[in-house]
């Protein structure tokens, strides 16, 4: 499980870029188990599509894993259906210091799954990265 924390970077507020999935061709949904550490208030996920000959679609979904193991969807991000990068954000609350608007919620200090949902079995080549923001210290 990847730990998303702002503590791995020298910046007082950001945690730096984190590679969640290396670029590869995929034909099925992928689950990325992540732990969002305390003091992380915002999570941005970037999907960078480099090959999509079949016009496949992949959509990130953040899922909270409850102590019972039950999964609770916290919303989906922007669908990727063409070459280029798409950024989606989740957070504890909106932040006026950041231009990107957060419309989806997440929970800090808990296990999550970032599910990359594929709409069909067509091949699409993409990578997934994350960037976190936390409290000012």
Closest CA to 62 of 83, 38, 42: 42
The pLDDT of residue 91 is above 50: yes
- What is the pLDDT confidence band of residue 135, given thresholds at 50, 70 and 90? low
The overall longest dimension of the chain from CA atoms, in Å, is 47
The percentage of the chain sitting over the pLDDT mark of 70, rounded to a whole number, equals 80
Query: So what's the pLDDT on residue 99?
Result: 47
pTM: 0.83
Q: Which domains does the chain have, with CATH numbers?
A: 2-134 (2.60.120.510)
Give the model confidence (pLDDT) of 24-65 as tens digits: 999 999 999 998 888 777 888 999 999 998 889 999 999 999
The pLDDT of residue 105 is above 80: no
d(CA 2, CA 118) in angstroms, rounded, equals 22
């Amino acid at each position: 499980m990847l730990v998303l924390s702002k503590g791995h970077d020298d910046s007082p507020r950001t945690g730096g870029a984190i590679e969640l999935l290396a670029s590869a061709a995929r034909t099925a949904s992928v689950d990325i188990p992540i732990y969002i550490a305390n003091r992380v208030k915002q999570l941005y996920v970037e999907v960078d599509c480099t090959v999509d000959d079949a016009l496949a679609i992949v959509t990130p979904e953040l899922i909270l894993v409850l102590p019972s193991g039950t999964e609770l969807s916290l919303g989906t991000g922007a669908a990727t259906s063409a070459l280029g990068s798409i950024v989606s954000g989740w957070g504890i609350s909106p932040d006026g210091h950041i231009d990107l608007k957060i419309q989806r919620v997440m929970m800090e200090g808990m296990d999550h799954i970032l599910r990359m949902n594929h709409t069909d079995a067509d091949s699409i080549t993409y990578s997934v990265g994350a960037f976190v923001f936390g409290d000012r210290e």
